[in-house]
Amino acid sequence: MIKKFSSSLKELKSIRNIALCALFVALYVALNGVSFIVGSYKLTVAYIAIAALGLFFGPVTAPLAAGAADFLGFLVRQDGPYHPGLMLSLMLTAFVFGLILYKSPLTFWRALLARGIINIFINIGLNTLWMSNILGKGYFVILGDRTIKNLVLLIPESIIIYTTLLLIKKAHERLYRSTNL
């Protein structure tokens, strides 16, 4: 486990890795700007970029990049008040993805485990707290809707994460082999 943390920290020593990190940060900002409103729910696939950060850069570097992505996303698209708790949640999301996916075989079950932890503890737990604070509504008032949304989306999001990360990983490996970096 300690190896994952030290290895993740070393990812910051490579200019190539910093550039790839920046690409995933930009992808997050772009994807977060594209959302679908279904009822009272905002749906986006920006979490794919955060999952990719976790997969490639681990539990130290990915949260740092996620924090930058959240702040840059706010600067680009100020569609509400800035809340540092939401940045913390995104950093924790990247941490979970990094802890579970980094330097490990990419499987659907790992994607499901990571997404399950994120949906239950971060999205339902922490983000509900932040949203109740932002909206001025009671925690338990919005907890039911947020719980339903996150449990219903758990499997579809896990499938999207797994298949997309497989494609990104294959493209990365192909590019890495062809350039001999």
For residue 31, name the pLDDT band (cuts at 50, 70, 90): very high
Q: Report all structural domains of the chain as residue ranges with CATH numbers, in order of start.
A: 2-179 (1.10.1760.20)
pLDDT tens string 100-156: 999 999 999 999 999 999 999 999 999 999 999 998 999 999 999 999 999 999 999
* Extended strands (E) in 14-95: 36-38, 41-43
**Of 85, 84, 92, the residue nearest 121 (C-alpha):** 92
* Res 116: pLDDT: 98
With contact defined as beta carbons under 8 Å apart, do 108 and 162 qualify? yes
Q: How many Cβ atoms are within 10 Å of 114's Cβ, its own excluded? A: 23
- With cut-offs at 50, 70 and 90, classify the pLDDT of residue 180: low
